[in-house]
Amino acid sequence: MEPEELRARARAWVVVDPDAATRAAVSAMLDRDDVDALREHFSETLTFGTGGMRGTVGPGTARMNQRMVLWVSAALADVVQARVPEARRRGVVLAYDARTDSRAFAEASARVLAAAGLPVFLADQALPTPILAWAVPALGAAAGGIVTASHNPPADNGFKVFWETGAQIVSPVDTEVQARMAERAGPIEPPPLAALGDLVRPWPADLLDRYHAEIQALRVHPEARARVAYTPVHGVGGAPVRRALATAGHEVRVVAAQAEPDGSFPTVPFPNPEEPGVMDGVVALAEAMGADVAIANDPDADRCAVAVPGRDGFTVLSGNQLGVLLVDDLLASAPVRPDDLVVSTIVSTAMTRRIAAAHGVRYAEVLTGFKWIATLALAHEAAGGRFRFGFEESIGYSAGSVVRDKDGVSTALLVADLAGHLAARGETLEGRLEALYRRHGLHVGRQRSLRLPGTEGRARIDAAMARLRASRPDELAGRPVAAVRDLAARRLVRADGVEEDLDLPASDVVAFDLADGSRVLVRPSGTEPKIKVYLEVVEGVPADVSLASAREAAEQVLDRLEAAVLALAGLP
């Protein structure tokens, strides 16, 4: 973008920005003609990703700020009223997490929506994302929104939108919101909250009680009692998770330094339980108290991470490992029907398919993003089937039809129940996982991300994907390739040349399915300048072979497989 265009965008921003601080910051950039700063803040405009937008807080179109919240809220008001019957009667539900600007942003959104004639149920406390997702259909609302940046760094914030079903918005709703934003260039000046009367009202007093009653009904081991070490990682999961576990009779101790909501996340550099070191505190607490399981949520409590005791101390499970443990337990512990459905994503473990088949239920894969799991679950139920469980490898899980998004609160309850159930039988989560590997094959996965920033990086990513699409390797790392899937073209080509259509939305993904069940998937990140490689090796484990030695062998195959696919893509 040329400097003069940047200056014009910044001058237009100063006219419409309602926040004196961010308005002054942009004016200062213009006064000193800081083109580099203007480019950083105005060369792009935040767009909708997974059901909403997210970015660093600051001035300009490339940042999250009050103007962006007003902007997206006005567009959402237009789309909701155009698409949802009786939207003006049903209203919109709003919530926020504990980040620094979250409540102020939520109040700004409430002002816009109410000024547009939509009643707003505005939470009076910071809450987890899954509770907002649940509250939308529970209140019969037309839509919902929550101000959150989930597990992003402290400097970030965002706005995530849910439709009347309680699931995140998908196309064409998200593209319509984006289009309505593009049509609005002028100031958005809603009245203050006090002037809107009962158009903005608090959540009903009994709403959280109803949520907790419904997640308690998900339990398949109501007799279980476990010793649990827990951390909300300075997020909003603390109160609801402690309540859920205490109601169920579990003994819970919380990492004191991380117990209270704090948007600065003082004890962790990056508040994501998947990041190295983030679970060190809860693991130390678990070891000290002799816990059956250690549990962590991310800051908005839609994700759940777990560490389990074993022969060598506590081990943090991968998202795939916890997913297959929960799938198998839920299917084994309650009656199943042939139309029961388990859903996972294309980059999550293929072991789920084998477990679902062993229990005689249906299995489906969807694109990455929990909105696709919820969308399929709703369609399956509309056709008369029953959705049992969905998960993605990035530690997101949802059981049954209570929450139409990933829910770290109910997942924590189910994990504690399973740990307590096994402990009462003299078993462990580690032992149960090993038994699944013996039964269904050892599945060892890995993700590799290559960061390639800038225009040159984008060109390298595009070239790598083009090379992969053009290739038809007979083998990778010495293992025969059974099929290649190009999700952009929605085509699968088998080793014998036979082609099939893929029943998935188009997406920039190339996958190599190996004859032994192993697989490799490659895709660019939708939010960062990265190309991501997902690998999984499947090995049968004879009774006379230890799982440790089988895993070591599988890791060596992963190394060779990773090197082979990167070479095929022309990447280092």
Q: Which residues are catalytic?
A: 150
Tokens of 570: 């022309």
DSSP string, 134-183: HHHHHTT-SEEEEE--TTS-TTEEEEEEEETTSSBP-TTHHHHHHHHHHH
Task: Report how far residue 550's alpha carbon sits from residue 251's, in angstroms, rounded to the nearest whole number.
Answer: 36
Cα–Cα distances (Å) from 494 to 59, 487, 512, in that order, read 51, 14, 10
- The answer to whether 119 and 91 are in contact (CB under 8 A) is yes
- The answer to whether 138 and 211 are in contact (CB under 8 A) is yes
Task: Report how far residue 553's alpha carbon sits from residue 161's, in angstroms, rounded to the nearest whole number.
Answer: 44
Q: Where are the alpha helices (DSSP H) in 17-153?
A: 20-31, 35-42, 66-83, 87-90, 102-115, 129-138
Collapsing DSSP to helix, strand or coil, 239 comes out as: helix
Task: Report how far residue 450's alpha carbon sits from residue 532's, in angstroms, rounded to the nearest whole number.
Answer: 6
Q: Is 52 exposed, middle or buried (0-12, 13-18, 19+ CB in 10 A)?
A: buried
Collapsing DSSP to helix, strand or coil, 291 comes out as: coil
Cα–Cα distances (Å) from 449 to 23, 226, 533, 571, in that order, read 37, 37, 6, 11
Question: The tokens 């490898």 sit on which residue?
Answer: 393
171's CB contacts (< 8 A; 6+ apart) are none
User: Which residues face 532 on adjacent strands?
Assistant: 449, 523
- The answer to whether 443 and 344 are in contact (CB under 8 A) is no
Residue 317 is given by DSSP the state P
Q: Is 272 exposed, middle or buried (0-12, 13-18, 19+ CB in 10 A)?
A: buried
**Count of residues in the chain:** 572
CA nearest neighbour of 469 among 482, 485, 453, 450:
485
- The answer to whether 540 and 553 are in contact (CB under 8 A) is no
Sheet containing strand 396-399, strands side by side? 362-366, 340-345, 386-392, 396-399
The type of residue at 536 is E
Task: Report how far residue 419's alpha carbon sits from residue 415's, in angstroms, rounded to the nearest whole number.
Answer: 6
User: Which residues face 366 on adjacent strands?
Assistant: 345
Task: Report how far residue 501's alpha carbon sits from residue 503's, in angstroms, rounded to the nearest whole number.
Answer: 7
Tokens of 265: 């996340």
Integer-rounded Cα Rg, in Å, for the chain is: 24
Tokens of 521: 């998937």
- Is the bond preceding residue 172 a cis peptide, omega within 30 degrees? yes
- The answer to whether 166 and 403 are in contact (CB under 8 A) is yes
- The answer to whether 87 and 80 are in contact (CB under 8 A) is yes
